[in-house]
Structure 1
Amino acid sequence: MQTAEIQRRWLTYFGERGHTVVPSASLVSDDPALLFTVAGMVPFIPYFTGVVPAPFPRATSVQKCIRTLDIEEVGKTTRHGTFFQMNGNFSFGDYFKEQAIAYAWELLTSSEADGGLGFAEKDLWVTVYEDDDEAIGFWKKIAGLPDERIQRMGKEDNYWSTGQPGPAGPCSEIYFDRGPEYGPEGGPAADDTRYIEIWNLVFMQYLIADVQSKTEFRIVSELPRKNIDTGMGMERVAFLKQGVDNMYEIDQVRPVLDAASALSRRVYGSDHDDDVRMRVIADHVRSSLMLMTDGVSPGNEGRGYILRRLLRRVVRAMRLLGVDSPSFPELFQASRLAMRDAYPDVEEQWERTSRLAVAEEETFRTTLASGTTILDLAVEDTQKKGAAALPGDTAFLLHDTFGFPIDLTLEIAEEAGLTVDRAAFDRLMLEQRTRAKADAKAKKRALADLSVYSEMRAAGETVFTGYDYLQTDSRVLGILLDGLPVDRAAAGEIVEVILAETALYPESGGQAADAGAIVGDGFELEVLDVQRPVKGLISHTVEVRSGEVAVGVPATSVVDPVYRHSAAQAHSATHLVHAALRQTLGSEAHQSGSFNKAGYLRLDFAWNQALSAETRSELEEIANNAVRDNLEVTTRILPIAEAKAAGAMALFGEKYGDTVRMVDIGGPWSRELCAGIHVRTSAEVGLVNLVSESSVGSANRRVEALVGLEAFRDLAAERAIVSTLTSSLKTPREQLPQRIESLVAELKAAEKKIAAFEASQLSGRVPALVEKAARVGGYLAVVEDLGTLSSADELRSLATSVRERLGSEPSVVALAARVGDKPAVIVATSPAARERGAKAGALAKQAATVLGGGGGGKDDLAQGGGSDTAAIGAALSGISATLAG
């Protein structure tokens, strides 16, 4: 049974039983505490917690998920994958345990001919929470399971919660027995390799508090509306139904594994290590394809970093299979063909995702070349020291800074006859993970408990009137102080205020929040920020400027009209620049992110090379021609399918409902899905001034522009600079470039002459310094204060020149000077001096300590500095005393 068929049967079964079929949400989670959608129930969390009223009593979905917590286990077990699909059925206060168990059992055990999944009843086991006698009773009643195939488990295994105060409850898991060849008898409690979990039913029936850990919490009460959250692992069921040993061999994954086998000419199944590598490749390629299809681009932070890590692990694994040439075109093509039937958007976004993948592979191959050079030097240094192990901090630096995989470091070190101090590396990795977890935990704690919005959201969605009005009368629904509800707020306090209606635009779609105020009888609130903390609710962060505001009182939201107009100019200009990019570079230059506020816009787009000055000029001209043409700006609300059919562009990473707002500028000239604020005609934008273009990743560029009055002010400032230059240089404006080029050439020539003169002057000082050489202890030493020099380089040049002139005797040169009002000291030693024990690094550090600073270096040449120029004499005397001793 193919994976797509399992998906079809699931949705059909529950759809026919009154469940609303909900399409998979994006892998990019709406939850600010999550980078990705990590479970099938994540999109439904607001309904389970009651923050947002559920729009349906029961639902079903097949949800795309990403988890990378156990990434090191990928390929080694039958069930660890970074991308997986969770088939779920959900009840929001509708049916509960008995019906959920009945649905699961019927779908699993009904014959394939009747639309079921066809599992034999004798092969299924269940686990239940140890105190849940009710669930055990239903399993016996519905499935007729004997006692020995129902196992009680503790909270660690069979109790669900978010890890935070809120809804929780026992769960019951269904396992499939693969047979004695896979492990010992005894059920899931004895062996979870033989007995594979395929379905988990969560009975969300309690409210918990005082959460200390997964097993330590206090049950406060039963929930007034009990919920059901179930999940069946698509990949696990697929590999069982397809008769293969693991999830990497199912129809949606195996083609990539086969492609890796063909490229490497290694036979899958003939070597354990190679098999693990091929499975890693197959899993990570699919995960990367799905992430990029959902708008994620490789980067150095957050989601982009995780995607980059997956891609680089693929490159590493292919290299360990002996493939040094580019392989992503073949690997990703195989994954595309395997996934496109289930997910048509894989095909729609293929040009973009394939370009991102190939560019990232090329970038990492360059990184590997650089990392290999650094590693080779480290290996050479380790061998010179006679050590057997490469330092762990070197391996960690390569991993953390250069993205150089530890397995590759181990391989190269082994080829050189070395090991790696893996214990030190692991310790540093653990420290990094601990810091990251602590940071994530702190961020999670910092997030307001969204349940505080429940009562306000229950009153209905906040009505946004800002498309048509700059002020709106309403009333205060709620006030939050430090994340907790309060009845009122007084002057000087910063609070969140929720209104029933508002004209103030909340930050979204790349547009910054409106500026403005909320006023009422006896109070005035300055608006600092406007956000959507939960779906359908708009919250205003305000400072109470005067008076006192209370829950329930009338209030009027007032938009700053100057700021709003300038922000609308910038947002419309973003659309103009995006259209200009696509007109200039082609449809591949797709917007991948944006931000705009009053007078400013930033737009990221898919492209892998810098734009020429001519291209930037052309973009600017196209955008401003659109301004000149006074194109009409219109908005329409329509079904998303209709908008896409009309050619509307959607921003990657943005979430769209069934109905969308489409913004046209000049009809189809610019047509995008957008909820932002816009001008009425393009002429209102005023002026677009591109001020920068830069890289934001291996396959993404960024343009920034000033808009309207801000653009004019910037150009006026440039005009003032040009005017000053023409006056100072007595040169007409059109001749300024040639005049400045001539002056720069003259300056460089003068600098060369000065440098030659200074070098000659320095060389002239060497003989006099050599004549001052004197016996100090067993050394021929030159210890001198040279007064003031222009740079430490001059001091270093003198020290090495004097050392060379002193010949083969044990000699030490210690020179000091004032460089830029700071003391500097250079120490140089000859080979014979070093053999007698004189180390330049130690001597420089000693002198720098006296100077009130720090220093050090190699045994032959070192430098130091400090802050006390008056101590130069004492520092040099200390060096002489050390040599004498």
Structure 2
Amino acid sequence: METAEIRRRFTDHFAAAGHTVVPSASLLLDDPNLLFVNAGMVPFKPYFLGQETPPFKRAASVQKCIRTPDIEEVGKTTRHGTFFEMCGNFSFGDYFKEGAIQLAWELVTKSQADGGFGLDESVLYPSVLNGDDEAVALWKRITGLPDDRIVRLPPSENYWSMGVPGPGGPCSEILIDRGPAFGADRDWDAGDRYLEFWNLVFMQDDISAARSKYDVDIAGPLAQTGIDTGMGLERVAYLLQGKANMYETDVVFPVIEKAMELTGKKYGANPEDDVRFRVVADHIRSSLMLINDGVTPGNEGRGYVLRRLARRVIRNMRLLGYEDPALRELLPVSRDRMGQTYTDLFDNYERILSVANAEEEAFRKTLTSGTQIFDLAAADLKKKGVATFGGDKAFQLHDTYGFPIDLTLEMASEAGLSVDEQGFRSLMAEQRDRAKADAKAKKGGHADLTVYRGIMDAHGPTEWLAYETLETESRQLALLQEGKDVPVLRNGEIGELVLDRTPFYAESGGQAADAGIIEFDGGRFEVLDVQRPVKGLVVHQVRVVDGEYAAGAAGAATLHARVDHDWRTGARQAHSGTHVIHAALREVLGPTALQSGSYNRPGYLRLDFGWTQALTPTQLKDVEEVCNNALRADLPVSWDYMTLPQARDWGAIALFGETYDDSKVRVVEIGGPWSRELCGGTHVSHSSQIGTLVVTGEASVGSGNRRIEAFTGLEGFKYLSRERDIVGELTDLLKVTQTSDIVGRVGELVERLKGAEKEIEKVRVAQLLAAGGDIAAAAQDVNGVKVVAKRIDGAGGGDVRTLVTDVRARFAPSEAVVVVVLGVADGKVSVVAATNEVARDKGLSANDLLRAVSPLIGGKGGGKADMAQGGGTETGEVDAAVAAVIASVQQTVQA
């Protein structure tokens, strides 16, 4: 049974049972605890936490997920993979244990002819939390299985929570016995013998503290029970397809087949190569899905994960013997398989391939530079007589330069060195511990939301009027400091104020929060920030700037909230300007120039977009021109609400990583189809109201990602005014009458400066060559060979080569001549060696002389027998290198 068919049967089964089938969310969600969606329940977490009211009582989904803690183990076992799909069914106060067990067992055991998976009941073993007698009784009654087929497991196996305060509960898994070839009989920890492929979580406990996902303190029962299940699509696929593991299924194995074609190696012939094939197959799919969802390679966070995945593909293809660019060959295979479900992979493929190609090109350069760094370090170790490449050096290559450890091991072996792997692993473990500690420190944010959820439960959502008005008469619902109710805020103190209604825009979608004031009887607040800690609840961070505010009872105090008109005007101009510049980028560069992030505040905007190279001055000028033509055209700006599928059919652009309400989304359009985007921000009503749009810069913010910045409105005019003032000062300074003459005048000055620099260079070279006669006259006679070996301080590489060539030419053609000059400048050593024909007849070679001095100066180089050059960094060893030249000539001539 193909994977697509398994997915279809799952959703059909639960749709028939009254579940709303919810499409997979993006791999990127706005969650401080997660880099990526790593479980099927993550998009439903706000419902389980009570932050939002679910629009349905029961739901089902097939969610794409990424997990990377064990990335180094991928391919070595059949259990580890980075990308996977989790099939899940969810109940929010609807059915509970009995319903979950009944629905799961029916789908698993129902015949394939009747739409089920048709798994043999005789090899299935339900597991429960030891002590959950209710679950045991339900499994026995629903399935008819005897007691010894129900497996009791400890909390470490069969209890689940999010690892933070919130909901949790016992689990019940469905295990399948794969036979004695996979482990001992009834040994539930025996590798892959009893494979868990479906986990049913019975949400029933209110967890007050969590030390791990199963070591928790339970405050009591939840007010409303729930069901969260997860069935691994890949596991069910290889079970139903009769394969040994996920890498051999219909959606993954075609990549291995393509890798075999490219490398000439065969899967199954060599265990080490098999691991490499599996890494390639897993990571290429993960890279494809991450880039599709808007991730670009980088050095931290999500971008770093993608970079590691893509580079591990490239590295393992090289280990399999394929040296050419690999991503462009493998990605289409994965696209064609995964695109059967995720059709946007075809629409976005041009951008995906562009990002991947840029990363592969960058990594190939990294391999070159990393190899040079390794070679220098290895040469230094050999000079010192050390046979082990340090773990700290290996870690630096890995962490700073993206140089894989397996490549370091391979090159060290070729150089006759061992690697301190234990030291490397220790540093890697420390890095992981730091990352875990940082993640743990970030967790607990859900607990901080308790007070806000309490306000929501007591008073309902904020009446948010930012689209309709700039002023409201409001009532205070809560006054907080550091998450706790306070009775009073005094002059100068900062706190949080919750109102029943507000005109203030809460920061979201890249738009900064509104500024303004909130007046109360006897004083006023300055609004510093506005946020939505819980969906639907608007919280104002305020400072008392006049008077003293006593909270009183909720709803008792009346306040007047007023947004700063100029602030909102500038914010609207900047946000609409962001949409305009996005549309202009797509018009100038093409449809793959998609926004990946933005920030706008009054008068200023920045927009990040997927693009692999710097924009040319002409492209930047074209973008700015398209923008200002749109402003001059006074395009109408309007917005409407519709379902997400309707918005997509209409051509609206949804931003990567953003979450949208399942029922209605807000679509903002400028000039009709020219710009249509999902957006909750505030906007002008016509494009001319943006005033002006001035592009001020464009730069890289990571591989495959660029950032463009601009000023709008009054700030745009101020920027142009400052530019005009600079031009005026230059006009006076350069003594020209017209500003148009500035370029020509500066050009003249530059040419004069270049001419002066050339004259200075001629004088300097003449002075350098004037010393050539004295240097040649000081040559030593070494067994009939004239040898010049000299240190010159302040001379760079070009100077040294000029001088060596000049000195060699000063000797008679009949003399055997060797010239080696080492220049020392800016903490570096430049060395050039030269011989004439008579010296070469005696066996002397410039290349051999360079090899004699390079290890001493900590460098390398090369050339031919008549001339060779190189460099190094050990300036303290230059005198020893000069002596080594004499010794090398003496040894060669004597031999």
- In 2, Cα distance between equivalents of 1:171 and 1:485: 37
The C-alpha deviation readout for 1:538-559, integer Å capped at 9, x for no partner, is: 2222223332152423333321
Identify the match of residue 617 of structure 2 among 613, 623, 630: 613
TM superposition score normalised by structure 2? 0.83
- In 2, Cα distance between equivalents of 1:713 and 1:861: 57
1:717 matched to 2:722? The reply is yes
Letter in 2 for 1:583: E
1:743 matched to 2:749? The reply is yes
Say whether the 8 Å CA contact 1:50–1:451 is kept in structure 2.
no
% identity of equivalent residues? 55
Post-superposition offset of 1:278: 0.8
Say whether the 8 Å CA contact 1:125–1:150 is kept in structure 2.
yes
- In 1, Cα distance between equivalents of 2:113 and 2:706: 53
Between 1:652-661 and 1:308-317, the stretch displaced more is 652-661
Aligned to 1:452: 451
Aligned to 2:877: 860
Between 1:635-644 and 1:706-715, the stretch displaced more is 635-644
Change in Cα spacing, 1:129 to 1:640, as seen in structure 2 (3 Å) is closer
Aligned to 2:231: 232
- In 2, Cα distance between equivalents of 1:757 and 1:517: 70
3-state SS, counterpart of residue 591 of structure 2: coil
Letter in 2 for 1:159: Y
Letter in 1 for 2:425: D
Change in Cα spacing, 1:473 to 1:126, as seen in structure 2 (3 Å) is same
Say whether the 8 Å CA contact 1:637–1:661 is kept in structure 2.
yes
Aligned to 1:833: none
- In 2, Cα distance between equivalents of 1:52 and 1:579: 34
Post-superposition offset of 1:5: 1.4
Aligned to 1:84: 84
- In 1, Cα distance between equivalents of 2:215 and 2:235: 31
Aligned to 2:309: 310
3-state SS, counterpart of residue 443 of structure 2: helix
Say whether the 8 Å CA contact 1:155–1:214 is kept in structure 2.
no
- In 2, Cα distance between equivalents of 1:259 and 1:840: 47
Aligned to 1:883: none
Aligned to 1:632: 636
Change in Cα spacing, 1:498 to 1:861, as seen in structure 2 (3 Å) is farther
Aligned to 2:75: 75
Post-superposition offset of 1:644: 2.5
3-state SS, counterpart of residue 735 of structure 1: helix
**1:287-306 pair list within 5 angstroms:** 287-306=286-305
Change in Cα spacing, 1:505 to 1:613, as seen in structure 2 (3 Å) is same
**1:91-240 pair list within 5 angstroms:** 91-189=91-189, 191-240=190-239
Identify the match of residue 685 of structure 2 among 666, 680, 692: 680
Aligned to 1:832: none
Aligned to 2:46: 46
Identify the match of residue 668 of structure 1 among 670, 673, 684: 673
- In 2, Cα distance between equivalents of 1:486 and 1:108: 55
1:11 matched to 2:11? The reply is yes
Post-superposition offset of 1:213: 4.0
Post-superposition offset of 1:49: 1.9
- In 1, Cα distance between equivalents of 2:50 and 2:654: 30
Post-superposition offset of 1:41: 1.1
Aligned to 1:245: 244
Post-superposition offset of 1:521: 2.9
**1:126-525 pair list within 5 angstroms:** 126-189=126-189, 191-445=190-444, 449-458=448-457, 459-486=459-486, 488-525=488-525
**1:446-845 pair list within 5 angstroms:** 449-458=448-457, 459-486=459-486, 488-546=488-546, 547-550=548-551, 551-552=554-555, 553-657=557-661, 658-731=663-736, 732-750=738-756
Between 1:621-630 and 1:376-385, the stretch displaced more is 376-385
Letter in 2 for 1:707: T
3-state SS, counterpart of residue 533 of structure 1: strand
Say whether the 8 Å CA contact 1:149–1:187 is kept in structure 2.
no
The C-alpha deviation readout for 1:830-883, integer Å capped at 9, x for no partner, is: xxxxxxxxx999xxxxxxxxxxxxxx9754369xxxxxxxxxxxxxxxxxxxxx
Change in Cα spacing, 1:597 to 1:392, as seen in structure 2 (3 Å) is same
Change in Cα spacing, 1:577 to 1:209, as seen in structure 2 (3 Å) is closer
Which sections of structure 2, spanning at least 5 residues, go unmatched? 772-792, 797-825, 830-855, 859-872, 880-895
Change in Cα spacing, 1:343 to 1:432, as seen in structure 2 (3 Å) is same
1:64 matched to 2:64? The reply is yes
- In 1, Cα distance between equivalents of 2:599 and 2:677: 15
Aligned to 1:25: 25
Post-superposition offset of 1:447: 6.9
Say whether the 8 Å CA contact 1:125–1:187 is kept in structure 2.
no
Change in Cα spacing, 1:666 to 1:211, as seen in structure 2 (3 Å) is closer
Between 1:626-635 and 1:643-652, the stretch displaced more is 643-652
Between 1:47-56 and 1:250-259, the stretch displaced more is 47-56
3-state SS, counterpart of residue 113 of structure 2: helix
- In 1, Cα distance between equivalents of 2:610 and 2:601: 22
Between 1:540-549 and 1:124-133, the stretch displaced more is 540-549
Change in Cα spacing, 1:365 to 1:602, as seen in structure 2 (3 Å) is same
- In 1, Cα distance between equivalents of 2:65 and 2:721: 52
Q: Count residues with an aligned counterpart.
A: 798
Post-superposition offset of 1:194: 0.9
Letter in 1 for 2:433: T
3-state SS, counterpart of residue 539 of structure 1: strand
- In 2, Cα distance between equivalents of 1:80 and 1:114: 32
Cα RMSD between the aligned structures? 3.4
Post-superposition offset of 1:246: 0.3
Change in Cα spacing, 1:245 to 1:740, as seen in structure 2 (3 Å) is same
Say whether the 8 Å CA contact 2:348–2:592 is kept in structure 1.
no
Letter in 1 for 2:370: G
- In 2, Cα distance between equivalents of 1:218 and 1:695: 47
The C-alpha deviation readout for 1:316-357, integer Å capped at 9, x for no partner, is: 111111111012122110101111112222222222212212
Say whether the 8 Å CA contact 2:506–2:513 is kept in structure 1.
yes
The C-alpha deviation readout for 1:646-694, integer Å capped at 9, x for no partner, is: 3222222222334222222222222222221111111111111111111
Post-superposition offset of 1:64: 1.1
Post-superposition offset of 1:709: 1.1
Post-superposition offset of 1:753: 6.0
Say whether the 8 Å CA contact 1:171–1:201 is kept in structure 2.
yes
Letter in 2 for 1:305: Y
TM superposition score normalised by structure 1? 0.84
- In 1, Cα distance between equivalents of 2:857 and 2:626: 63
- In 2, Cα distance between equivalents of 1:456 and 1:166: 17
3-state SS, counterpart of residue 36 of structure 2: coil
Change in Cα spacing, 1:750 to 1:330, as seen in structure 2 (3 Å) is closer
The C-alpha deviation readout for 1:455-502, integer Å capped at 9, x for no partner, is: 223343333211121112232333332133445544333222232322
3-state SS, counterpart of residue 461 of structure 2: coil
